[in-house]
A and B are shown apart, each in its own frame.
Chain A
Amino acid sequence: MSSKEGIRRKQVLEEAKLLIAQIPAKLDRMEHYNDLASTWLEIDTPAGKECLELSMKSAVGIHNPELYSAQKEIIDLAYRLDPTLAASLASLADDDLARVQLKQRIQLLDLKKKMADQVRSVENFKPSSKSDYAEAAWMLLGGLNAGRVAPLRPDDIRNFLPIAAALPIKEAYRILAWVIENAKRRFSQTDQARTYLRPLYEATFVGAELVGRMAVRSSALIKQVKFQTSKPSSIASTLIRSGEREDAKRFLRDWFEREVQQYLKICDPYFGPTDLEILHILLSANPDCKVQVLTSRKHQEQEHVSAPWDESYRAHWRFRVSDQDPPDTEIFIIGTVSKGDLPIHDRWWLTYKGGIRLGTSFNSLGINRDSDISILSQEDAEIRERDIDQYLLRVKRDHGGDKLLYTIFTL
């Protein structure tokens, strides 16, 4: 630029300064001074400094939430020129809170400078919090992108990774993005790209994959909890009204024929000898099916089933149900010592990859009141089956500290 043009440029900037002084809204005036300072600092440092001072002085008397943003800009500009200038400008702020905030800003800029200057030992830094590292890393990333900061050596930034690990992902992201960008700018065009960058990519990939799996697992767990704490999510249900017992039997016979495979596990705390009729239906529909029945001691006692219970059940089958032999059936009568309760309260009939939920016991179905039968999805049935198996396999020995008593016999 010729000296004539240089003089003209200075005149234009001086003119701009005079115009800015006439802006009647102080915050607006500050922002214009800041813009002017950022241009002027590169050409004429003393004039730029004067603009920053004028800007800071314009803030006196303003109590506006947006003020800090303009003051921060002044401090950032001044710091690039001279950290002591930033400190002296910060002291011009007219209220205590602003002075504290601007001092913290200067500390952050100090931290950023140390990180960029490759001060290796993190112990030498005294930031107010780990979040400051994230903020400083973010500014350094901006510097890298703009070409104002050179990429650092891996050894110089490794110390910041444990800090990122201790931060929430929102803040850790800023440090990790800076670390990756550093490595990218340092090695992506070199022969060391494979050695340094490939493992970095693989690590981030595994990280993302892991988070994805955790999210999926967490989602599945929520579904499971929901299933266990509320009404099961059936895919279809049939309402059996009072007086429709034959319909109920027909429905069950169809289900035995079509859906039941290999085994049937009946969990019903109110199952008693009078419910054995269902095995007769099963015998005709699916004769090779093995059956396990899980019921409660309490119900046997309330129904006054004579002891020994195995004999009472066999007698009922022989005298009241059928002349045929029953299907291969095991009966588990389980209850807590104190009350005789079965820990499972619902009625589930489960088979391989399926099941149904009954609203009432079989011997009441379609007799006195309306009730429903719900068909369970495979997933729901499997979750239920896992619960029931804890008793059928005698893994569960107590319920809430109350010991469980088992009576098991073959029909």
Chain B
Amino acid sequence: MLSVRLRLLGQWALDNREREDAAEVVEFALKLAIRTTAYAPNARILRELATPLPFISDESVVRSLSRSFDSQKGAIEHLGPTEDFVRLTLLLAQAESKYDIDASRNRVIDTYFYISALDDLAIKAGSLAWLVASLSDIDPQEQFEAREGIHEIANEELKKSIKQLLNTTADHYRAIRHIVRALAKARPDMAFEVCQALNTQLRRDQALHELVESALHVAPGKINVPFIEQVMNRFATPELQDEALLSVIEKLSKISEKETHLIGVAMPLINRIKSMSASDMRARAYCQAYSLLINKDKSNKYNSLASSLLDQLKDTWVEIDVGWQKVDIGFKIAESLAETSLQKAREFLALTEESRDLITLNARIPAKVYRTCLRLTIRAYSSLLAKALVGEEDRGSIASLIGLIPSNGEQAKLWVELALQCYASKQIDECKRIVDQYIKPLLSNIPSADAHYRTLITVRAAPALYFAHQLTALEQISQLPQPHRDRAYVAICRFMLTKQIRLNYYCGCHVIEGRNQA
């Protein structure tokens, strides 16, 4: 498949943009793309392939490759994506700026006019963001500014477009996320400002998360740690903050031994790990931070901190509620520790194996298959409720099947499903019995260190808790952090209105039966 080959070559070009021999690969890929008539690569693939151009030192090679890319522009312009088409022209301008500044300037001006003519504001704003971001690479001395004032014009145009976009759309995050992505590295302060202008807290946090992830698309040693720390302070949604922090720590763990000065700068971020709410992410972050301190710091200055991180890593890992997840993460931690300390890795491996041997459904896929089968059983069980065809023995049997699952939370989810089926079938007492006998104890058995997971399960359980005991449920829900509290209320209202359970999860999507929702 030519498309797959070209995509792979494009990915290679992205990852190896600064290699001396990247030109050979780009040339090969371009020839491959041009000589085939059966498949037309779009702007994204060509843009990815063009990524190494600004780093190629041989002028004649750059000229030749630029000509080849130019010859394809007419064909790909209508295929889009438009932003990738713009980025391609900006890459060519950047490559050209090293040997022909006038040609580069003309290309930038043409690109600006092309963007100005776009009729979709979202695409226009995104393209302008790429132009503004690229100008600092194409014309770092701002030579273009004296003649055309392109820096200032593009900047102002972008600000105006963003303002208009925020004034005319409801889903601000979706409208500006590509702008944040474009500005994250070259104009982080501007991107930060945009993030803070969004219309809801959740969207602001989603944008901040996007900003951190995009700002990390640099070599590990070039991470702007103080800026990231500044962004971290603005999060209000713990799970998004956790994800962003984990990405930062993972990236920092890849710094070279010459960049150890970053360890000291990164200390405030490392200190944040203990406040991460999701235990699985906390464990992974501790692991990466430990690797960073032990592997990269040869002065042994941070030995006692590293040792403390390792202790906290163990404590966190022990408290993970979902058995197969614990095993999975345990093996990953052992793998990661093996790079720094074989002995510690062995110890963790032994702990993980011991934990694995204690539980039956200790791998993710068999556990998922089993839970899926149980869901079918629960659905069939619920069909017997209306005519009271369920006996004590059936209740015991289904409890023993659910009890096989090595997780308080995952068991609770299934009981919630059954309790709500009972409620929908007007078996109110049975619903209450399930809540009292199973759901509440299981919720309280989820380790307190796995607080985030307990919160998620409580949200799931909210309708069942509410229909069993309204006052205590509302009291329990009021203790949840936002936005989970609101989600719990929404779950109750949804069940009241539809009598349907939003519990089925596949492919990472929230699924309502018959309807997939991202």
Given A28-B171, A212-B370, A223-B357, A200:B498 Cβ within 8 A: no
* B513 contacts A142, C-beta separation under 8 Å: yes
Q: Which of A26, A194, A216 contacts B120 (CB 8 A)?
A: A26
* B498 contacts A24, C-beta separation under 8 Å: no
CB-CB under 8 A from B82, the residues of chain A are 61, 63
* A208 contacts B360, C-beta separation under 8 Å: no
Complexed CA–CA distance, A216 and B361 (Å):
7
* A24 contacts B164, C-beta separation under 8 Å: yes
B104 at the interface (CB under 8 A from A): no
A62 at the interface (CB under 8 A from B): yes
* A215 contacts B370, C-beta separation under 8 Å: yes
Residues of A within 8 A of B (CB-CB), count: 56
Q: Which of B361, B370, B384, B404 contacts A197 (CB 8 A)?
A: B384
CB-CB under 8 A from A26, the residues of chain B are 119-120, 122-123
Find residues 372-407 in chain B having any chain A CB closer than 8 Å to their own CB. Answer: 372-377, 379-387, 389, 394, 397-398, 401, 404
CB-CB under 8 A from B387, the residues of chain A are 188-189, 193-194
* A25 contacts B121, C-beta separation under 8 Å: yes
Q: Chain A contact residues: over half helix, strand or loop, or mixed?
A: helix
Q: Which of A64, A181, A183 contacts B81 (CB 8 A)?
A: A64
Residues of B within 8 A of A (CB-CB), count: 60
B329 at the interface (CB under 8 A from A): no
A-contact 0/1 string along B127-138, CB 8 Å cutoff: 000000000000
Complexed CA–CA distance, A145 and B119 (Å):
42
CB-CB under 8 A from A169, the residues of chain B are 369, 372-373
Given A95-B79, A173-B376, A25:B169 Cβ within 8 A: yes
Q: Which of A66, A197, A212, A219 contacts B380 (CB 8 A)?
A: A197
A141 at the interface (CB under 8 A from B): yes
Q: Which of A24, A184, A208 contacts B401 (CB 8 A)?
A: A208
B-contact 0/1 string along A330-359, CB 8 Å cutoff: 000000000000000000000000000000
Given A169-B372, A176-B376, A24:B168 Cβ within 8 A: yes
A252 at the interface (CB under 8 A from B): no
Find the A residue at minimum CB distance from B387: A193
Find the B residue at minimum CB distance from A189: B386
A27 at the interface (CB under 8 A from B): yes
Q: Which of A22, A145, A211 contacts B513 (CB 8 A)?
A: A145
User: Which 5 residue pairs across A and B have the least CB separation, nearest first?
Assistant: A142-B514, A63-B80, A24-B121, A184-B383, A63-B81
Between-chain CB contacts (< 8 Å), 10 pairs = A26-B120, A61-B80, A62-B120, A139-B514, A145-B513, A204-B379, A205-B380, A207-B373, A211-B370, A215-B370
Residues of B within 8 A of A (CB): 42-43, 79-82, 119-123, 164-165, 168-171, 174-175, 353, 357, 360-363, 366-367, 369-370, 372-377, 379-387, 389, 394, 397-398, 401, 404, 425, 498, 500, 506-507, 512-515, 518
